[in-house]
Amino acid sequence: MPQLNPTPWFTIMLFAWFLFLTVIPPKILAHISPNDPLLREVNNSKTESWAWTWY
Protein backbone atom coordinates (compact mmCIF):
# COMPACT_ATOMS: atom_id res chain seq x y z
CA MET A 1 0.00 0.00 0.00
CA PRO A 2 1.61 3.31 -1.06
CA GLN A 3 -0.10 5.31 1.71
CA LEU A 4 2.10 3.64 4.31
CA ASN A 5 5.34 4.70 2.63
CA PRO A 6 6.31 7.91 4.52
CA THR A 7 9.11 8.96 2.21
CA PRO A 8 7.19 11.14 -0.32
CA TRP A 9 4.72 12.51 2.24
CA PHE A 10 7.42 13.44 4.73
CA THR A 11 9.31 15.32 2.00
CA ILE A 12 6.15 17.16 0.98
CA MET A 13 5.42 18.02 4.62
CA LEU A 14 8.95 19.36 5.17
CA PHE A 15 8.79 21.44 2.00
CA ALA A 16 5.39 22.87 2.98
CA TRP A 17 6.65 23.83 6.44
CA PHE A 18 9.75 25.35 4.89
CA LEU A 19 7.50 27.55 2.74
CA PHE A 20 5.27 28.45 5.67
CA LEU A 21 8.18 29.47 7.86
CA THR A 22 10.30 31.33 5.29
CA VAL A 23 8.07 32.81 2.59
CA ILE A 24 4.76 33.60 4.23
CA PRO A 25 5.75 35.47 7.47
CA PRO A 26 7.57 38.34 5.67
CA LYS A 27 4.57 38.81 3.39
CA ILE A 28 2.20 38.94 6.35
CA LEU A 29 4.44 41.27 8.34
CA ALA A 30 4.68 43.63 5.36
CA HIS A 31 0.91 44.14 5.53
CA ILE A 32 0.71 44.58 9.28
CA SER A 33 2.72 47.81 9.41
CA PRO A 34 3.50 49.11 5.91
CA ASN A 35 4.67 52.52 7.14
CA ASP A 36 7.48 53.10 9.57
CA PRO A 37 6.14 55.45 12.26
CA LEU A 38 9.60 56.88 12.96
CA LEU A 39 9.97 58.31 9.46
CA ARG A 40 6.94 60.56 9.72
CA GLU A 41 7.69 64.22 10.15
CA VAL A 42 6.03 66.08 12.95
CA ASN A 43 4.51 69.36 11.82
CA ASN A 44 3.59 71.68 14.65
CA SER A 45 1.22 74.00 12.88
CA LYS A 46 0.04 76.97 14.86
CA THR A 47 -3.72 77.20 15.00
CA GLU A 48 -5.30 80.60 15.25
CA SER A 49 -8.69 81.24 16.78
CA TRP A 50 -11.37 82.87 14.68
CA ALA A 51 -12.69 86.22 15.81
CA TRP A 52 -16.31 85.93 14.68
CA THR A 53 -18.85 88.47 15.73
CA TRP A 54 -21.86 86.74 17.22
CA TYR A 55 -25.07 88.71 17.20
How does DSSP classify residue 54? P
End-to-end CA distance of the chain: 94
Query: Residue 8 — very low, low, confident or very high, per pLDDT cuts 50/70/90?
Result: confident
Give 14-28 pLDDT, tens digit per residue. Answer: 999 998 899 888 888
The pTM is what?
0.44
- Write b or e for each residue in 10-43: b if 16 or more Cβ atoms lie within 10 A of its Cβ, otherwise e: eeeeeeeeeeeeeeeeeeeeeeeeeeeeeeeeee
More confident residue, 22 or 8: 22
Residue (of 40, 21, 24) closest to 32 by Cα position: 24
Rounded Cα–Cα distance for residues 44 and 46 (Å): 6
